[in-house]
Every structure is written in C-alpha cells, then in structure tokens.
Amino acid sequence: MATSSAWKLDDHPKLPKGKTIALIVLDGWGESAPDQYNCIHNAPTPAMDSLKHGAPDTWTLIKAHGTAVGLPSEDDMGNSEVGHNALGAGRIFAQGAKLCDQALASGKIFQGEGFKYVSESFETNTLHLVGLLSDGGVHSRLDQLQLLIKGSAERGAKRIRVHILTDGRDVLDGSSVGFVETLEADLVTLRENGVDAQIASGGGRMYVTLDRYENDWEVVKRGWDAQVLGEAPHKFKNAVEAVKTLRKEPGANDQYLPPFVIVDDSGKAVGPIVDGDAVVTFNFRADRMVMHAKALEYEDFDKFDRVRFPKIRYAGMLQYDGELKLPSRYLVSPPEIDRTSGEYLAHNGVSTFACSETVKFGHVTFFWNGNRSGYFNEKLEEYVEIPSDSGISFNVQPKMKALEIGEKARDAILSGKFDQVRVNIPNGDMVGHTGDIEATVVACEAADLAVKMIFDAIEQVKGIYVVTADHGNAEDMVKRDKSGKPALDKEGKLQILTSHTLKPVPIAIGGPGLSKGVRFRKDLDTPGLANVAATVMNLHGFVAPSDYEPTLIEVVE
Ligand SMILES: O=C(O)[C@@H](CO)OP(=O)(O)O
Ligand SMILES: [Mn+2]
Ligand SMILES: [Mn+2]
C-alpha cells in the first residue's frame, strides 16, 4: 500500500521504529481495593502484580467508563465495544447509547428513513420490538424502548409485540422480574388506550438470540423459533408469570432463561412475526445483534432452518455492521469511527498480528478497528481466532483459551514477522459475568499466566509490552452501598455483581525494548482508554495525528 500523504505519520523525535510491541488487553480487569470480592486480588497474578512496582512511571490507572469512552454519563459502566473503540481509535466518539438518547429526545428518530420504512406496516400489520430488556446501558436501555413504543403508538402503530431477552449480566440477576413488570404496566396503559400491545416471547440473553461472532447459531435459532415461528418449549399466558416461574428451576438465572412464548386462551402464540409485519431490534450495540440481523434480513441463509422467512420491514436501532451494511435499514446512524490507529499503522508499514478466542475475537479486530471487519492491508496483518467453548457457561471452564492465546501471541512475537502483536484475554470478564467467585479467581490466574508467556517472548526479542484492560469486572463481584460496603437485599443476602464496573483499569509499559527515559506523564487531567492509541503509535516510533487524545508517555533525558 503506498502511503498517501494524508496517512503518513511523522517520525517520533526520540523513539525508534522497529520494536516488537505486545499489546495486551485483559478483558474485564479493573483496579479496586483488595477484599474477598476482588477476584484479581485473590488470584495468584504475579505477572500483573509485579508491574505495580513501576508506579507511577510505568504503571498507572486510566478511566474506562462514562464520558471518557463516549457514554452518556459517569454512571455508565464501560464495556467492550466502547472500550476497544476508544483504545483503537484514539479519540472519544459519542457512542450508540448516547446517539439514541439524542435521537429520541429530539424526536428525530421518528422522522428518519428507518422509522418511516417500518411505519408503513403500522396500518395493517404488527410492529415487533426485539431486544435486551434492562437498564444496563451496554446493549440497550429500557427507557429507550419505552420511548420507542410510545412514539410508535403515537404515530399509528395499532398492534405491538415485544420480544424480550432477560439480562442479569449488565444488571443484577433476578432484576428481570422488575423490568418485565415495568414493561407490562406500560403495555396495559397502551391497551387501555386502544393499542393492542403485548409481550409475545422471551428468553435469557445468553441462551436466546444474543450470541456473537458465530460462536453458537443454536442461540439465534432458539430466538427465531420463539419470535418468528411462535414456538418454544415453555408457554405462558403472561410474561411476568413466565419469568417468575422459569426462574424457580434449579440453577436458573436471568442470563440463561429458556425460551418461552406467550399464548392466548386457545393456546395460540400471540405474536409470531408474519409477512407484512415490521420488526425493530432495539439494541444499539452491534456484536450480539449481527447474527440475528442476518437471519432477519438475508434471503440466502444457511445457518439454521428458518422454516419460514417472512417478508418483513426490518430496521435495527443502529446499523450493526457498516461493511456488510447490515441491517440495511436503521433508526439511528451509528458513530462514524474513522482513521483508527490500526488503519494509520497499516499505511505506515507496521505489521500486525491480532488474536483472541471467538467470544472476544471481534473485540480486538472489529471493535478495535472502529467497527470495521477485515484487514486494512492483508500483506501486513494477520488475525487469528481460537474457537471458544460453546454451549457452556464459562465458570465451567474458567481457564478458557487463555494459554492458547498466549501461545499464539508468543509464536507471533518470536516469528519476527510482526511489529505489533495484539491480544484480548477474556477470562476476567467472561467468567466474572457468571458471578461465580471461585471460578473467577481461577480465570484471573489463567489470564496472568498468558500475560507471563507474552512477557517472556517480549524479553527474548527485546521488545516492548503495553498491558491494559477495556473495563472492570473481576475486581469487584458484589453490589455495594454508597459507602462501599457490600449491599444486602431485602432478605439480608449479598447481591453478587455479574456486571462490569465503574472502576479504572491499569496500564503498564515495559520490556527490554522500551527506550530509557520513557515514562507516564503526570500532567494529564483524566487520562482514559482513548489516550492509549497515541501512546502505542509513539512506541512504534511515530507521532500520533494531532486530533488524537494525547499520549500517556514522555521521554525524559
Ligand atoms: O457480554 C457482553 O455482551 C458484555 C456485557 O453485556 O460484555 P463485554 O462488553 O465485555 O463484551
Ligand atoms: Mn470487555
Ligand atoms: Mn463483559
């Protein structure tokens, strides 16, 4: 690829080119006070611990939540999408959650092409809304769904069916009941006002519909069967009863509730999706909607037998994949994340290897590259996906594929073929989400072993490492009150935190290739994930583009 002048990065005045850089993202690895709910603290993590001795020059903390990653408020925890977007793009973009808030607040969402298109079905057919039902704010938000329902009814939707996915991952397990009650109350009001509005189907997000990166199409199929075909192993007259009943099964939780459909008095499903209907998927985040969107939109589709492929008017809350233009219709334009560090580095001859296991593969590639699939330059890049275990909850195999990721990274480093070797190590996050504290400790230990393996390889090639995380999770596994003490529920029980956190994440630099005098600056007000890209560009020997968030490092004589 010839470097056009627009892409050419200036040479760094002090830092050399040609060092091998390992860029490690520990998923869900925040920094928090040590106690029994801090799984990172309680796991043997010698590699990560040793880095703290370098504080404040080569180890520090950066912000990974709220406005620092383009989310609406400081109460918004970080997540992989916004975290990796910020890490890779080096700038802060208003993210899906915020863009949808703005479009709903101004009413522009209802004037756009996407809404006009689906509203053509309102007169004669049903509007289906499918998505994650919670106020977690990672993939969707209940208040946005409420505004969407209200706005649709005001604009002529006469028959509305909501297909819910219970959460328990971005919010406390068990909170599903309250969210369903709230939605149900809204629908009652609508019915009183003459709109035929009901919940039509449901299921837990990790078991129904919301798979990602093609890890397990069965998950999407279960949702299809319930939402489109009106078929599921469990049938109920109302959704509150459905969720309450299914939660009583041994081992049941919100994330993994089995699929159910709501039926009328004659036992008929109240809301299968049929020809002529409109469908809106109200999640704004991309990764867990892409597979579902393909099933809804693609004429040619062979991932499972859809049985029936209704001719619908379908729009996503956002477009979930800009390359695939999927879905082709959407209510709100996604953030336009351009000129990412990956694209710049490719134009400047930097060769890159990126790797994770399936459940996080798109994080270090698609999200990292500003929600863009594929390579910038095939000759310079190699992306490797290690198949994840599927069909299990990750507390069963908490080591996941950490060591395999470590090995692949090691081999890539030792091969001498790559300037940058970038990985995501998923354990802290994926196992943290299960709420299983013991398993999360094992997960953190495995992640640390993978880090050690990469450090050893960097030592051999006299390279540099940069270790950070995308947001917190495993460092705090309990809900806390304002004073920071574990908060008890009405029955006096601890509430295990399965979600991400608001905590900062560590970042450390080191390795034999790190030039003398390189250290973290102390003059940045609130450095965050978006400052990492410029830092890495510097370590590759380049000055970052002037509109990037400032570098974290300085070189002192
Ligand atoms: O699993 C997910 O979809 C989210 C939590 O909802 O986690 P992460 O942002 O780390 O991918
Ligand atoms: Mn993450
Ligand atoms: Mn997560």
Q: ipTM of this predicted complex?
A: 0.98
User: What count of other Cβ atoms lies within 10 Å of the Cβ of residue 324?
Assistant: 15
Closest-approaching ligand to the CA atom of 27? 2
Could you tell me what percent of the chain has a pLDDT over 70? 99
pLDDT score of 412: 99
Q: Which atom of ligand 1 is nearest to the CA of 170?
A: 6
- Asked whether residue 4 carries a pLDDT value surpassing 80, the answer given is no
Residue-averaged pLDDT of the chain: 97
pLDDT score of 391: 87
- Asked whether residue 2 carries a pLDDT value surpassing 60, the answer given is no
Q: What confidence category does residue 3 fall into, taking pLDDT thresholds of 50, 70 and 90?
A: low
Q: Which atom of ligand 1 is nearest to the CA of 83?
A: 9
pLDDT, tens digit, 9 for 90 and up, residues 398-431 = 999 999 999 999 999 999 999 999 999 999 999 9
What is the CA(470)–ligand 3 centre distance, in A?
9
pLDDT, tens digit, 9 for 90 and up, residues 327-350 = 999 999 999 999 999 999 999 999
pLDDT score of 68: 98
pLDDT, tens digit, 9 for 90 and up, residues 92-105 = 999 999 999 999 99
Per DSSP, helices labelled H in 30-110 are 39-42, 46-51, 80-89, 96-106
pLDDT score of 540: 99
Rg (CA), the chain: 24
Pairing of strands 260-262, 196-204: antiparallel
Best probe residue, ligand 1, of 82, 133, 169 (max atoms within 8 Å of C-beta): 169
The answer to whether 134 and 231 are in contact (CB under 8 A) is no
Residue with the nearest Cα to atom 8 of ligand 1?
80
Closest-approaching ligand to the CA atom of 30? 2
Residue with the nearest Cα to atom 11 of ligand 1?
80
Distance, in Å, from the CA atom of 469 to the CA atom of 239, rounded to the nearest integer, reads 38
pLDDT score of 557: 87
What is the CA(335)–ligand 2 centre distance, in A?
19
| Mean pLDDT, residues 492-496 taken together | 95
Could you tell me what percent of the chain has a pLDDT over 90? 97
Residue with the nearest Cα to atom 5 of ligand 1?
170
pLDDT, tens digit, 9 for 90 and up, residues 437-476 = 999 999 999 999 999 999 999 999 999 999 999 999 999 9
What is the CA(446)–ligand 3 centre distance, in A?
17
Q: What angle do CA 315, 282, 247 make, to 5 degrees?
A: 135
- Asked whether residue 393 carries a pLDDT value surpassing 70, the answer given is yes
The answer to whether 329 and 389 are in contact (CB under 8 A) is no
What is the CA(488)–ligand 3 centre distance, in A?
24
Active-site residue set: 80
pLDDT, tens digit, 9 for 90 and up, residues 537-546 = 999 999 999 9
How is residue 126 written in tokens? 């049903």
Q: Which atom of ligand 1 is nearest to the CA of 499?
A: 5
The answer to whether 113 and 260 are in contact (CB under 8 A) is no
User: What count of other Cβ atoms lies within 10 Å of the Cβ of residue 79?
Assistant: 30
- Asked whether residue 1 carries a pLDDT value surpassing 60, the answer given is no
The answer to whether 149 and 280 are in contact (CB under 8 A) is no
Distance, in Å, from the CA atom of 119 to the CA atom of 502, rounded to the nearest integer, reads 38
Closest-approaching ligand to the CA atom of 425? 2
Please give the span between the terminal C-alpha atoms of the chain, in angstroms, as a whole number: 36
Best probe residue, ligand 1, of 82, 84, 138, 287 (max atoms within 8 Å of C-beta): 138
Question: Which residues lie with the beta carbon below 6 Å from any ligand 1 atom?
Answer: 27-28, 79-80, 138-139, 169-170, 288, 429
Pairing of strands 505-510, 464-469: antiparallel
Give the SS3 label for residue 228. Answer: helix
